[in-house]
Chains A and B, each alone.
Chain A
């Protein structure tokens, strides 16, 4: 069956530009998570959605980062005025629920490079 997909797989952008990263979760999964992973580190939580609403956005580093999930399925992570420090792999995961017992299914990530 189809897993979590993320597009693009790679994105190179110039400092100051705007980028959008897309996540297609597994069909029927109500919870969707965004993480950021720097080289050699574990995933850093950014935001998660339960349905259409952002249930916890405490991990977003600043107001340049924003995410939406308007129909409770596909989600877009938006980064304004990109900075070189935003360079990382952005991972999306979905799960059938938000309980800690639920497995999170991860996509392959989008590698963002800000030059």
Chain B
């Protein structure tokens, strides 16, 4: 059973475009984390969201935690090639990651 469903699985866009990726679950999480992973490396934490409805911004990245704490989104404004990577969400009390969204930003 996949507790965290991420969509889309793959996304390839041009530099400068905006995008949103999603992390959905039927379970309620006390908190949720987003990580980014580059080839040959382990995932690196981007943000932790805790409160339902919370919005956090990290430069061009905006993270939102759903009101019911079952879903989250990551929005990137004016994507750059350096944003390329595998974006993973992880629920707090379950030691599981979503399958990830593989994002490619083309120059």
A interface, CB within 8 angstroms of B? 4, 33, 35, 40-45, 48, 56, 59, 91, 93, 99-101, 103-109
Contact = CB atoms under 8 A, between A and B. Distances in A.
Given A100-B91, A101-B48, A103-B48, A108 B96 contact: no
Interface of B: 6, 29-31, 33, 40-45, 48, 50, 86, 88, 90-93, 95-100, 102
B78 to A, nearest CB: 26
Nearest to B4: A42
A93 B41 CA distance: 12
Nearest to A40: B102
A106 B33 CA distance: 14
Contacts of B48: 100-101, 103
Contacts, number: 58
Contacts of B88: 42-43
A45 B42 contact: no
A112 B30 CA distance: 34
B42 A101 contact: no
Contacts of A100: 29-31, 33, 48, 91-93
A104 B96 CA distance: 12
Lowest 4 A-B CB distances belong to which pairs? A100-B92, A106-B42, A42-B97, A45-B95
A42 B7 CA distance: 13
Nearest to A6: B42
A101 B95 contact: no
A40 B10 CA distance: 10
B31 A4 contact: no
